[in-house]
A and B are shown apart, each in its own frame.
Chain A
Amino acid sequence: MTGRVALVIVSHSAEVARGTVEMVRQMVGHEVPIAHSGGNPAGGLGTDVASIIAAIKSVWSPAGVAILVDLGGAETNSEMAIEMLPESWRDKVVICNAPIVEGAVMAATEASGGGTLEQVRATAEELAP
């Protein structure tokens, strides 16, 4: 395993996605590669499979990628995006069942300390209701 686990933030809102990244960078720092995807293909509220795939590819790390999502469609579209990745990547990309902002900060904290993909996910999911 090389490098740190990367994060992808997927929100219905481009501003929420960007804002979450900003919070992570300020609270945890810049060591963790983090990308975001927000809004539907027409620029409105929603999520966009092609944009999620692009976000995953932009931060791809052999250590894995953890995705944080907001509402239902973001999760469904992220699952779809994972299935459309090259086969060898698929089991190294996971969706965390955690609140998007808090989960992202916790996941980034774990990832910046060199945590594995499973540890990153588990740390984020400690916050799950």
Chain B
Amino acid sequence: MTLDTAMKKRLIAAAAETVFSHAEELSELDRAIGDGDHGLNMKRGFEAVLADADNLAAKPLGEMLKGAGTHLVMTIGGASGPLYGSLLLAMGKAAADQPADIAGVARIFAEGVEAVRKRGKSDAGEKTMLDVLLPVGRRLSAAVPGESDAELAAALCAIADQGLESTRPMRATKGRASFLGDRSVGHLDPGARSSQLLLHAVCDVLVAQQQTEKAGAA
């Protein structure tokens, strides 16, 4: 699969689109256990990324990720700015250019997730975006030989869905939701939801692209 400029633009557009179309839902989730601004903050961040899409997509992958991460850090205005920003900045640092294989993608992703862990001083089971990102990263590192990219993408999305659902019964110990203590139980974590949405958006674009390439080759 070639990660050319058009493809990078599609990835940026798909990520922004899923954030825009779910902004209200993300804020609704955040109103239950936080301060209700996650959707609006993410929307502002991805508007800045989308506005710079032509410039970003023309850069090598690593530079594109760093550029997008910087926009998120500078425009989101909530804790999700540095968290998503650190994810992309660290992935950008690890991705000098297009990864050669899935193992390369897994290494880049792992660097990003580690940066989120450090930035948030958090870990699995604390009702955060890490409850989606960590299991997805593990599955990515353990890609089964012989499985197609579409199968892998489907598996990653399913794991992201489970990770999101796993935050519902959790008691938050990090971030604003931790002020609620036991009252945070029974609600999905908004950051886990945005992570799951973004992963779906990226996987959908990659799988569609591969199908197009296959159809073209046939």
Interface, chain A (partner B; CB < 8 A): 39-42, 44-50, 71-73, 76-77, 79-80, 84
Contact = CB atoms under 8 A, between A and B. Distances in A.
B104 to A, nearest CB: 26
Interface string B46-76: 0000000000000000000000000001111
A41 B44 CA distance: 9
Interface in B35-51: 35, 37, 41, 44
20 contacts: A41-B77, A45-B35, A46-B41, A46-B78, A47-B77, A50-B74, A72-B79, A72-B175, A72-B176, A73-B79, A73-B176, A76-B79, A76-B82, A76-B83, A76-B119, A77-B79, A79-B119, A80-B81, A80-B82, A80-B119
A24 B81 CA distance: 30
Nearest to B44: A42
Contacts of B37: 44-46
Contacts of B176: 71-73
Contacts of A40: 41, 44, 76-78
A26 B74 CA distance: 33
A73 B74 contact: no
Contacts of A46: 37, 41, 77-78
B99 interface: no
Contacts of B82: 49, 76-77, 79-80
B73 A80 contact: yes
A77 B86 CA distance: 11
A72 B44 CA distance: 20
A45 B78 CA distance: 9
A84 to B, nearest CB: 8
Nearest to B178: A72
Interface of B: 35, 37, 41, 44, 73-79, 81-83, 85-86, 119-120, 174-176
A79 B44 CA distance: 21
A76 B86 CA distance: 11
A39 B81 CA distance: 14
B74 A76 contact: no
A48 B85 contact: no
A39 B174 CA distance: 22
Contacts of B79: 72-73, 76-77
Give the 4 A-B CB pairs with smallest separation, nearest first. Answer: A40-B77, A46-B77, A73-B79, A80-B82
Contacts of B119: 76, 79-80
A90 to B, nearest CB: 15
Contacts of A71: 176
B128 to A, nearest CB: 11
Contacts of B86: 80
A47 B75 CA distance: 10
Contacts of B83: 76
A84 B79 CA distance: 16
B58 to A, nearest CB: 24
A31 B42 CA distance: 40
